[in-house]
């Protein structure tokens, strides 16, 4: 696990698996943790890392309901979990799915954890909307397309944007279950002005980005998705994301688009 301060009020932690990111953001004496690292030792270390950095965690936020982003309560078992209304609806409609998928991941990789995943009571937050943190506001913006749910978080006082599973420097656009190419493209366009205003963009997977690189990824991702709809398997992948794993994801995208 790697932790880096991208602003005096923002620390980004990156997991060793899938480069999944977790962002701690504070204002005044209050802090929230957005998403989560994945591995057991990373989650165990997270409270001490943030305490040392002076973050008093008041609650947890998630960008979307994929299991690798909702593990914060394994690090902070008493913290409340908030998410956009679409994400809370998905989690409530699929009780136990994240816990089961986490268990399957752990069994596949011979991992053990002190306790099973329990999300507890979920607070549904409107997107577009605002959430107060220490007298400042976190802006919530709808971000569906990768999945049927999703929320991006904009911290204007820090010029930091957390986008969830968009604009990844290590992963092409992934169309999960109930995903939509048109919704994905619409989210990219909604994100564009926020990215242009940001000093740092935190993707769900991969290192924090400056606005110039994030905008370049946005253009590449939009071009890939448009080509996916037009040419299917023959669509070109972004130049820096053409390894075997990205070709596998591309084939799954093609199959998913064909099946919808």
Domains and CATH numbers, the chain: 2-258 (3.60.15.10)
| Stretch 15-37: mean pLDDT | 97
What 8-state DSSP symbol labels residue 146?
A: S
- Predicted confidence (pLDDT) per residue in 50-91, tens digit: 999 999 999 999 999 999 999 999 999 999 999 999 999 999
Query: How confident is the model at residue 251, as a pLDDT?
Result: 95
Beta bridge partners of 131: 138
pLDDT at 178: 82
CA dist 260 and 181 (Å) reads: 11
pLDDT band per the 50, 70, 90 thresholds, residue 10: very high
Query: Rounded to the nearest 5°, which phi and psi values hold at 49?
Result: -60, -45
Would you give the DSSP letter of residue 42? H
The predicted model scores a pTM of 0.95
Q: Residue 259: what pLDDT?
A: 65
Q: 164 near 154, Cβ under 8 Å? A: no
Please tell me the distance from the alpha carbon of residue 260 to that of residue 245, in angstroms, as a whole number: 23
- 3-state SS, residue 6: strand
| Residue 84 confidence (pLDDT) | 97
Across 117-132, average pLDDT:
94
Is 126 in contact with 133 (CB distance < 8 Å)?
A: no
Maximum separation of any 2 CA atoms in the chain, in Å:
52
Q: Which pLDDT does position 208 carry in this prediction?
A: 98
Check if the beta carbon of residue 238 is closer than 8 Å to that of residue 216. no
- Rg of the chain, C-alpha, whole Å: 17
Q: How does strand 30-34 pair with strand 200-203?
A: unpaired
pLDDT at residue 193 above 80?
yes
Q: Which pairing describes strands 136-142 and 81-84: parallel, antiparallel, or unpaired?
A: unpaired
Question: Which pairing describes strands 81-84 and 57-62: parallel, antiparallel, or unpaired?
Answer: parallel
41 prior amide bond cis, ω within 30: no
Whole-number Cα distances in Å, 40 to 59, 70, 113, 172, 252: 20, 13, 6, 26, 29
- Model pLDDT, residue 260: 63
Contact 63, 150 (CB under 8 A): yes
What's the CA gap between 94 and 67, in Å, rounded? 11
């Amino acid at each position: 696990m790697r932790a880096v301060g991208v602003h005096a009020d923002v620390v980004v932690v990156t997991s060793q698996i899938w480069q999944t990111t977790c962002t701690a953001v504070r204002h005044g004496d209050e802090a929230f943790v957005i998403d989560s690292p994945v591995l057991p030792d990373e989650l165990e270390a997270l409270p001490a890392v943030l305490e040392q950095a002076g973050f008093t965690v008041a609650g947890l936020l998630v960008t979307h309901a994929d299991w690798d982003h909702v593990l914060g309560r394994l690090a902070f078992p008493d913290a409340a979990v908030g998410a956009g209304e679409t994400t809370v609806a998905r989690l409530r409609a699929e009780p136990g799915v994240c816990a089961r998928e986490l268990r399957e991941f752990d069994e596949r990789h011979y991992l053990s954890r002190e306790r099973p995943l329990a999300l507890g009571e979920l607070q549904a937050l409107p997107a577009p909307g605002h959430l107060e943190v220490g007298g400042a506001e976190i802006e919530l913006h709808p971000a569906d397309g990768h999945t049927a749910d999703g929320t991006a978080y904009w911290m204007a006082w820090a010029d930091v944007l957390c986008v969830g599973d968009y604009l990844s420097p290590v992963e092409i656009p992934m169309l999960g279950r109930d995903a939509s190419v048109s919704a994905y493209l619409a989210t990219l366009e909604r994100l564009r002005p926020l990215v242009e205003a940001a000093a740092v963009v935190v993707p769900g997977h991969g290192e924090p980005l400056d606005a110039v690189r994030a905008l370049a990824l946005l253009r590449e991702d939009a071009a890939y998705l448009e080509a996916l709809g037009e040419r299917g398997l023959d669509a070109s992948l972004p130049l820096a994301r053409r390894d075997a794993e990205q070709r596998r994801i591309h084939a799954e995208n093609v199959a998913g688009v064909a099946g919808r």
